[in-house]
Amino acid sequence: MLCLLLAVVPVLARDKPEKAREKAQKERAEALKDARKKRTKRAKANKKTNAALGEKLAELLKAREAFSGTVLVVKDGVKIIEQGYGMADREAKRENAGDTLYDMGSFSKQFTAAAVLKLETEGKLSTDDKLSKFWDDLPEDKRELTVHQLLTHTSGLSRRYEFGDVDRLDRDAVVHHLLKPALAHEPGTAFEYSNAGYFILAAIVDKQSPKGFDEYLREHIFKPAELGDTGLTGDDGLDRKRAAGRYSDGEKRGTSVEYGWHWGFRGATGVISTAGDLWKWTLALEGEDVLSFEAKEKLWKPEKENYACGWEILESPAGTKKIHHSGAAYGALAWYAWYPEDDVMIAVLLNDTTDPQLHFKISKEIESAVFAP
């Protein structure tokens, strides 16, 4: 009898925290449901002021110098402006629209971070894991680098990188090549933005998921968030008729969906999406359909220079929390910010990089108008 009781006690001990987690998750789901009901009421109460803000933004964007892209601003759960400007395809005279497909550039990093944290939730890896867990024969000074350091740009890997003649279709060859250069600083001591770190994170996701990096994003990130217009460059499933052309200095450089697949591209960039899908992604991040509460706490916890895991955590003009990232790629610029306390989301997606700072300029004007006293 005593042996039976001793066997049952550890099981009960395990069950107790699990039941507590389930209870907390249920309470959070109820709180989110209640918050969304209040959002609906707030949207009705603020209908006139939000409509006036939409008109103000429309005039502001119409008056500024011509640009090419799509702007989406959501407040109180309502899209107060969702408008395309300029041409998605100048030759075909096809205009940009709310459902135009754009390259997200470095905004792709937060999708990679979400995949890593999802795998951690599944027990497939830990953000404390060292690179030596995934690859042998690494340079001695890189063996101890952690997944979390790669996520937060504190690994010491340099901002500068080059591929030379390495075969970029060979995942492990790319990883080993990127880990050859000397570290820019001692790991964990400073912030150094590194695309190479996110290329390596994509390779880790690829190793730890049976179907690989691309399919893991599709099945475990895009699908549960219902991002029907989101994929990766080269995906056959992306609607090429809605793809934005890539323009710079008047010259077209293909379209958003045409860029090819290789390991010097995945992880740090390469996600293709629409303004509308970015709003769906915001809604997914509110709940736990994609990431658990614990995973999101880690996702948005800044390490150094306000950088968390694929996100910058900043302050809005109103002094509230701003969850942000921007991106740039050939003929593409992206800027996104979510202000959860203000129930505001802003997305600026452009398909012309003649002015490489234009997404910052436009978003600043929009932000100033949204948060005007």
Query: Of 74, 71, 29, which Cα lies nearest the Cα of 340?
Result: 74
Query: Of 86, 52, 93, 41, which Cα lies nearest the Cα of 67?
Result: 86
Q: What angle do CA 60, 61, 62 make, to 5 degrees?
A: 95
Model pLDDT, residue 98: 95
Q: Helix, strand, or coil here: 106?
A: helix
β-partners of residue 304 are 307
Model pLDDT, residue 3: 40
Query: Of 130, 133, 123, which Cα lies nearest the Cα of 147?
Result: 130
Given a cut of 50, the residues of the chain with pLDDT beneath it are 1-6, 8
Model pLDDT, residue 2: 39
Counts for the chain of helices (H) and strands (E), in that order: 10, 13
The answer to whether 354 and 247 are in contact (CB under 8 A) is: yes
Cα(200)–Cα(179) distance, integer angstroms: 9
208: left (phi over 0), alpha (psi -120 to 50) or beta: alpha
Model pLDDT, residue 201: 98
Q: Which residue has the tokens 């077209």?
A: 252
pLDDT digits (tens, 9 = 90+) for 150-183: 999 999 999 988 888 889 889 999 999 999 999 9
Model pLDDT, residue 107: 98
Model pLDDT, residue 13: 55
Model pLDDT, residue 10: 56
Model pLDDT, residue 168: 87
Model pLDDT, residue 14: 58
Domains present along the chain, CATH in parentheses: 46-370 (3.40.710.10)
